[in-house]
Amino acid sequence: MPTEKDVGNVYRNYSTHENENENTGRAKKPDSSVRRFKYSFTSARRRGYLALKYDTRGGASALDKLAGLLAYLNPALRSALDFSSMYIKVRPGAKLLEIGFGSGRQLDFLRQLGWQVEGLDLDPTAVKVASSRGLAIHLGSLKEQNFPDQSFDAVVSSHVIEHVHDPVGLLAECRRILRPDGKLIIITPISQAGATRGFAVVG
């Protein structure tokens, strides 16, 4: 196991270093009529589902919400959409911190949903990539930031806690910076019968 001082060296060539700023991680619009319809329907279904379940902003129309109801029939799609919103209802203007944001694509998406976002990462290259998206980014550990008590309405973290040297200390610091009605969402991979799956803890 790398020391806390050297763990950053493990991620020097990590996939999150790719600068996706040109398309911000969004799929390009297709060129054929059928593909354009499929793209439009998929986008409408996503907007509708997230608006219905998580109160996201983004101008979801009545038709979008009708399409969003169809997502409830597909467990795999529903799971992916729930993950994209980090399993929490949006409170427009409320402050959200993502610990270990990678390329910043997920954090940018959460901002589009209505959160006032900030990100934290130990990796200087990831910080540079995410900063190019115009996000409020911090470099270093959570404890080093010395955020004031009750600074955030939500703290989210995906596939990070299994890399942390002091997970109990991290959780204690998350509790300190969360407001009394705040939410902490931790997503970590688990392995079952040789298959890796995600597991979320919402508190």
Task: Strands of the chain (E only): list them.
Answer: 95-99, 116-121, 136-139, 152-158, 178-192, 195-202
- Whether this prediction's pTM lies above 0.85 is answered by no
Q: Give a yes or no: residue 19 inside a domain.
A: no
Note whether 77 and 132 are same-domain residues: no
Same domain, 79 and 105: no
**pLDDT of the residue at 68:** 94
Q: How far apart are CA 105 and CA 31, in angstroms?
A: 24
114 and 37 in a common domain = no
Tell me if 52 is assigned to some domain.
Answer: yes
* 25 in any annotated domain: no
In a domain, 164, yes or no: yes
- Residues 138 and 159 grouped into a single domain: yes
Same domain as 174, residue 115: yes
Lookup: tokens for 192:
């079952």
Q: Are residues 155 and 93 in the same domain?
A: yes
What local confidence, expressed as pLDDT, does residue 165 receive? 86
Residue 11 has what pLDDT?
Answer: 58
In this structure, are 194 and 95 located in the same domain? yes
Instruction: Name the burial class of residue 176, with classes exposed (0-12), middle (13-18) and buried (19+) by CB atoms within 10 angstroms of its CB.
Output: middle
Shared domain check, 102 and 51: no
Q: Which DSSP symbol is given to 15?
A: G
Residue-level pLDDT, tens digit, the chain, 203 residues = 566 666 666 555 555 555 544 444 455 555 678 888 898 999 999 999 999 999 987 778 999 999 999 999 999 999 999 999 999 999 878 999 999 998 899 999 999 999 999 999 999 999 999 999 999 999 999 999 999 999 999 999 999 998 888 999 999 999 999 999 999 999 988 766 555 455 555 56
53 and 116 in a single domain? The answer is no
Name the residue range of residue 53's domain. Answer: 33-84
Q: In the chain, how many domains are there?
A: 2
Last residue of a domain, one of 60, 84, 108: 84
158: domain CATH number?
Answer: 3.40.50.150
Residue 56 falls within a domain, yes or no? yes
